[in-house]
């Protein structure tokens, strides 16, 4: 389980370090909630007045992606992370439903 964080186009070192640390904390929370996650890649980009956060999560056989734009750095990261968590929950419920369906027919 690895976490990779990239911050692009941020000129201030303090904001860059904060973005890296905050994105890493969010990625760690995703890995704690879903233990089958192989890799989390986070890209935080600053363009003029907007921040863009993108999470790419790799699970065996699946790739989950979420991207969010916001004027605030934290809200962009939080919203993108929440979208990934929602997609992972949906995927987990689908996999569980398939396994339950297969178990009934055995």
Q: What is the pLDDT of residues 53-106, one digit of tens each?
A: 999 999 988 999 999 999 999 999 999 999 999 999 999 888 777 666 666 665
Domain count, the chain: 1
Nearest to 26 by CA among 62, 96, 73: 73
Characterise 25 by phi-psi region: left (phi > 0), alpha (psi -120 to 50), beta (else): alpha
Which residues contact residue 49 at a Cβ distance below 8 angstroms, ignoring those fewer than 6 apart? 71
What CATH code is carried by the domain that includes residue 97? 3.30.160.100
Boundaries of domain holding 70: 2-104
pLDDT of res. 1: 75
Beta bridge partners of 68: 53
Q: What is the pLDDT of residues 18-52, one digit of tens each?
A: 999 999 999 999 999 998 899 999 999 999 899 99
**Local structure of 106: helix, strand or coil:** coil
Predicted confidence (pLDDT) at residue 11 exceeds the cutoff of 90: no
E strands in the chain:
2-8, 37-47, 50-59, 62-70
């Amino acid at each position: 389980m690895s976490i990779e964080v990239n911050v692009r186009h941020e000129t201030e070192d303090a904001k860059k370090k904060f973005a890296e640390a905050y994105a890493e904390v969010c990625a760690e929370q995703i890995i704690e909630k879903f233990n089958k996650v192989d890799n989390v890649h986070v890209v935080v980009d600053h363009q003029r007045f907007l921040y863009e956060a993108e999470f790419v999560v790799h699970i065996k056989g699946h790739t989950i992606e979420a991207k969010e734009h916001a004027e605030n750095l934290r809200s962009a990261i939080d919203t993108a992370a929440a979208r990934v968590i929602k997609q992972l929950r949906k995927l987990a419920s689908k996999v569980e439903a398939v396994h339950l369906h297969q178990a009934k027919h055995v």
